[in-house]
Amino acid sequence: MPLFASLYNFAHWLTQNRAEAEDLVQETYMKALKGFQSFQQGTNFRAWMFRILRNTFLTSRTGLKAATPLEEAEDALPPVLETPESALLARVDHELLQSALEQLAVHYREIVLLCDVEEMSYQEIAETLGIPIGTVMSRLWRARKALRDLLGTKVRGASQ
């Protein structure tokens, strides 16, 4: 199935639950198959699929209460186990980033995930979210600034 891994990863970040992510991806494929006649040839299929997934999530029970914290995604970042010390440092870094991502509003979190995790272009993100490219760029800038501020606060708090 095209894009399955990427769609599942994004769904897992949004739903914070493996079973709900699987259901969301399955529902996304069902909606895409039912509505395939609405897909315009020559447009971005990837953005179309991610938009279906996002809209399905936002209209779901889980999406309506999307302010809940993210659950740790074991598959998102594979650990590098060179030494016990490096493994511990990597885990602490991952937990700090995870904690900071949890505190972002959903519209900032999804921009960061689509850009930095899914490596979508600004144009693809704009098509996926149905917003202008300028809005993508400003939200991404604000989201990254918020992440930097949150991480800085957490690091300063941990060192005191």
* Average pLDDT over every residue of 22-36: 90
Class of domain 81-160: mainly alpha
The architecture of the domain spanning 1-68 is Orthogonal Bundle (1.10)
Q: What percent of the chain has pLDDT over 70?
A: 75
* Average pLDDT over every residue of 93-102: 77
> What pTM value is reported for the model?
0.56
Task: Give the lowest-confidence range in 11-25, 94-108, 135-149.
Answer: 94-108
- Residue ranges covered by each domain of the chain: 1-68, 81-160
Residue 67: its pLDDT value, please?
A: 38
Residue 38: its pLDDT value, please?
A: 83
Residue that is written with structure tokens 């918020």 in the block: 146
Q: Please tell me which residue, 85 or 70, carries the higher pLDDT value.
A: 85
Nearest to 110 by CA among 96, 89, 126: 126
Q: How many angstroms separate the CA atoms of 24 and 37, rounded? A: 21
Is the C-alpha dihedral spanning 97, 102, 103, 105 positive or negative? positive
Longest dimension (CA), the chain: 59
Q: Give the model confidence (pLDDT) of 105-147 as tens digits.
A: 888 989 998 998 888 999 999 999 999 999 999 999 999 999 8
Residue 105: its pLDDT value, please?
A: 87
Here the tokens at position 145 are 């600034």
Q: How many angstroms separate the CA atoms of 25 and 33, rounded? A: 12
